Amino acid sequence: MSSKEDELLADNKSTAPQLGEHEQALNITSDASEIMQKAEAQVSECMLLLDEDLKNLKESKASLRKEALDESQTLLLDLGYKANMLEDEPEVAFGYAEEDKQEKVEVKSVSSGKFSSFIIASIIGAIVAIGSLFASAKSIGVAFDINKLSNIDYLMPLLQPIGKLFITDASTNIGGVVLAGIVFIIMYIIYIIRVSLRATQNLKDAQATHEQAEFYCTSKEECKKEMDKVDAHLNETIKTIEYYKLILSEQNVKLKRILFIEEKQNFEFYHYKTQLELENSQKLVNAINNLLGTPMAEKGRLSSEAQEVLIKTKSVLNKHLQVIYDKNIDDVL
């Protein structure tokens, strides 16, 4: 039994000392149902957030290409500087790894078994009553006919021998009372035993279901942590792309000026400051292309390679800004 179940049972005992096993099973099942609903709600919320992040990432990439990156690569080629082009971006697909997938726990409703127990007890009670009447008929030498039991003249003589088992001079009325009492007691015992057994089984089943629900919830919490990690990575990637779009746009203006004034020529003939601008632009293009070209997902999880590449990409931009500001600036990423 899990600690949560222990606490729940302890609470049940402290708040309601007379609480039976069936009521305890109801409480534990209700708690298991709440655990399942909470786990599913958290995962659904994470998946919706992840879908939104992926949509924003796709839009950010498209904007980067359209407004800066494609032009940067074209300008570098126009200036005779061979740029490393990114032809195809890997598809970004996140989900649960196979080992993380847990079958959803079905929380079944708890049945007290009172109705079925009453039916079974009634059937056995009827069998006992008929058996008693059959034995009574045999003891007085009367042919037993179940179809005649509804006939009071046939039934009354069969009741007296049953009463004489307990009272010597018992009448037929006493025999009827004795038979009814015996049948009732047997029915009551069967009913109580079966309801009690069902309550005990319900409690065991509820505890097992609660344990499965807690395990399911734990697995989903691990998935949620992974999704939160992915969410943070995607948002940081989008932020990095936006910075690169801005800086590359700035570099593109410089490259246009170089192309207009110095025109295309061999690299060694460019002004030394122009050479630096070309090299800086190429570093930025290479870095962002490397980020865009690195698969983010590996078996449904965030890949370690993607995390490392993001760090390097941010580092390239930070160094570029450090040069611009003569190292008098903190890292922006």
- Whole-model pTM: value is 0.65
Q: Could you count the other beta carbons within 10 Å of the beta carbon of residue 76?
A: 21
At 119 the pLDDT is 94
At 101 the pLDDT is 53
CA distance 214 to 207: 11
As a whole-number percent, the residues of the chain with pLDDT over 90 amount to: 39
Q: Which residue has the higher pLDDT, 219 or 59?
A: 59
Pinpoint the alpha helices (H) of 262-325.
Answer: 272-293, 304-324
Residue 305 pLDDT greater than 80, yes or no: yes
CA distance 207 to 236: 43
CB burial of residue 223 (10 Å; 0-12, 13-18, 19+): buried
Please report, for the chain, the start and end positions of each structural domain, with discontinuous segments joined by +. Answer: 21-109+207-324, 114-205
Give every CB contact of residue 98 below 8 A, 6+ residues apart in sequence. Answer: 299, 300
Mean pLDDT throughout 66-76?
Answer: 94
At 84 the pLDDT is 59
CA distance 67 to 131: 95
* Interval 80-94: pLDDT, tens: 877 555 555 656 555
* Interval 245-263: pLDDT, tens: 999 999 999 999 999 999 9
Distance, C-alpha 327 to centroid of its chain: 48
Q: Quick one: CA dihedral 267, 270, 272, 276, positive or negative?
A: negative
Structure tokens at 186: 């047997």
* Interval 100-140: pLDDT, tens: 455 677 777 788 888 999 999 999 999 999 998 999 888 88
Mean pLDDT throughout 56-64?
Answer: 94
